[in-house]
Amino acid sequence: MAYRWPADTDFALLELDVLDRDCPVCGRMMYICDHRYRHFHTLDGPVELVCKLNHCPDPACPGHAQTKSPELESAIALPNWAIGWDVFCWIGHRRCSRHWSITQIQGELGDAYGIKLSADAIAKYIQRYQVMLAARQQDPESLRRQYQSVNTIVLTIDGLQPEKGHETLFVVRELTQKRVWFAEPLLSATNEEVQRLIAQAKAWAASLGQAVVLWVSDKQDAFVQGIAAEFPGVPHRYCDNHFLRDVAKPVLEADSHAKVQMRRKVRGLRKIEQAVLKHERPAVGPNPVPVDPAATFTMSTASVHPQATGADTACAVVLAYCTAVRGILNDDQGGPLEPPGLRMASALQDVRDSIQRNLDTKKGGLQKRNWAAWPGASTGA
């Protein structure tokens, strides 16, 4: 669907003429016979582009029936685009490099540049950007330039599944230049199919005139056999990450079990919160304390009014602890070197220490509460 411009759009005018005005058939000087008007967004604002179309003045020349467009037109915006290349690249970069969502891109284009595009249109431009990127990625000329100063090549291969249930995407990467060479989805990853990809990598390396000195993979059978067949004598090493993950498997299983145990033991947060909120409701002073059980620690302490009673403050503290503990129990981050269960245990211990510090302070008769010296729960939250 054509882009609809508001009636009061203020376009910057841009005129383009044909650079080479010799008729491609007879060589006579061509005349302007028509104009093409285009409108599109650039990062500098909306543009009206006037393209002067030329044709051969000789009615007998085949060049008369054809028009020639300015050569530079496609360097500003491709046909039927509502945006120039600059906006196109801006969108593609935000999507592919920064991983922005389409909604985010749409919002920022509107806020920062006043460019209003539908989500459909943005999706369409992203798709074209990806096609161009993929074509560029495999451009032999740009590859040769990148590998001019390189002496050796280190290749890796791995299968990944961007969407569960889809075919596995096999990716061949080169490590010295950190570049994806190619990727191909294989419906059935038979040894023959995998070996075909490895042979393709061999052809690429040969075309660059470079020696492959090492292969790295998770050493699944198809890789081991394919690499041995195509690259006899070239070392094939275990990928550190896969190796570590495999070695750490029993540890992570035990860790996951410990996590379940801790979750089972630390319970009843909701009950405590309900009790606190119930206790609070009747104590309505001139400034009732708004306590949101879902609020984060900082929010709930910040909401304590300076004139709040001691009981109100205590309630807020209890709720803040509950929030912190809930955050700890829901945290699933970590990996083989930092198992999530160990993180959870250490964070829960921080909370215990913090509560103990509060109890000790109370025993000592210290009335003044020092919020700054309250780091315990925040480490877990």
3-state DSSP of 42-109: ECCEEEEEEEEEEECCCCCCHHHCCCECCCCHHHHCCCCCCECHHHHHHHHHHHHCCCCCHHHHHHHH
Give the interface segment with Zn ion, choosing from 21-29, 71-79, 191-199, 215-223 (CB under 5 A).
21-29
Scan residues 215-234 and list those touching Zn ion (CB under 5 A).
none
Give the interface segment with Zn ion, choosing from 24-32, 133-141, 247-255, 344-352 (CB under 5 A).
24-32
Size of the site for Zn ion (CB under 5 A): 7
Given the complex with Zn ion, which of 51 and 56 has the nearer CB atom? 56
User: How far apart are alpha carbons 159 and 184 in whole angstroms?
Assistant: 9
Unique residue bearing structure tokens 């209890």: 318
Given the complex with Zn ion, which of 29 and 206 has the nearer CB atom? 29
Give the interface segment with Zn ion, choosing from 55-63, 74-82, 162-170, 173-181 (CB under 5 A).
55-63
Which member of 47, 51, 61, 82 binds Zn ion (CB under 5 A)?
61
User: How far apart are alpha carbons 285 and 37 in whole angstroms?
Assistant: 69
Which positions ≥6 away from 309 have C-beta within 8 Å? 283, 285
The verdict on 78 binding Zn ion (CB under 5 A) reads no
The 10 Å Cβ neighbour count of residue 203 is 10
67 in Cβ contact with 82 (< 8 Å): no
Which positions ≥6 away from 72 have C-beta within 8 Å? 16, 19
Minimum distance of Zn ion from residue 72's CB (angstroms): 22
User: How far apart are alpha carbons 269 and 322 in whole angstroms?
Assistant: 6
The verdict on 76 binding Zn ion (CB under 5 A) reads no
The verdict on 25 binding Zn ion (CB under 5 A) reads yes
Scan residues 260-289 and list those touching Zn ion (CB under 5 A).
none
Q: Which two tokens stand for residue 231?
A: 């690259």
Q: Which residues pair with 12 in a beta bridge?
A: 47
Minimum distance of Zn ion from residue 64's CB (angstroms): 6
Give the interface segment with Zn ion, choosing from 16-24, 168-176, 206-214, 307-315 (CB under 5 A).
16-24
Minimum distance of Zn ion from residue 92's CB (angstroms): 40
Long-range contacts (CB closer than 8 Å, 24 or more residues apart) made by 275-280: 276/315, 276/318, 276/319, 277/315, 277/319, 279/311, 279/315, 280/311, 280/312, 280/315
Minimum distance of Zn ion from residue 58's CB (angstroms): 5
User: For the chain, how many residues are written?
Assistant: 381
The verdict on 26 binding Zn ion (CB under 5 A) reads yes
Which positions ≥6 away from 77 have C-beta within 8 Å? 38, 40, 49, 83, 84, 85
Give the interface segment with Zn ion, choosing from 15-23, 124-132, 156-164, 249-257 (CB under 5 A).
15-23
Scan residues 28-47 and list those touching Zn ion (CB under 5 A).
28
Minimum distance of Zn ion from residue 60's CB (angstroms): 8
Given the complex with Zn ion, which of 26 and 345 has the nearer CB atom? 26
The verdict on 56 binding Zn ion (CB under 5 A) reads yes
Which of 12, 1, 16 is closest to 76 using CA atoms? 16
Minimum distance of Zn ion from residue 24's CB (angstroms): 8
Give the interface segment with Zn ion, choosing from 23-31, 40-48, 65-73, 173-181 (CB under 5 A).
23-31
Which of 149, 146, 190 is closest to 170 using CA atoms? 190
Given the complex with Zn ion, which of 61 and 324 has the nearer CB atom? 61
Q: Classify strands 179-186 and 168-174 as parallel, antiparallel or unpaired.
A: antiparallel
Given the complex with Zn ion, which of 25 and 229 has the nearer CB atom? 25
Minimum distance of Zn ion from residue 63's CB (angstroms): 3
Give the interface segment with Zn ion, choosing from 26-34, 35-43, 180-188, 214-222 (CB under 5 A).
26-34
Which member of 41, 53, 55, 63 binds Zn ion (CB under 5 A)?
63
Given the complex with Zn ion, which of 55 and 173 has the nearer CB atom? 55
The terminus-to-terminus CA distance of the chain in angstroms comes to 49
Given the complex with Zn ion, which of 23 and 155 has the nearer CB atom? 23
User: How far apart are alpha carbons 326 and 349 in whole angstroms?
Assistant: 14
* Interface ranges with Zn ion (CB under 5 A): 23, 25-26, 28, 56, 61, 63
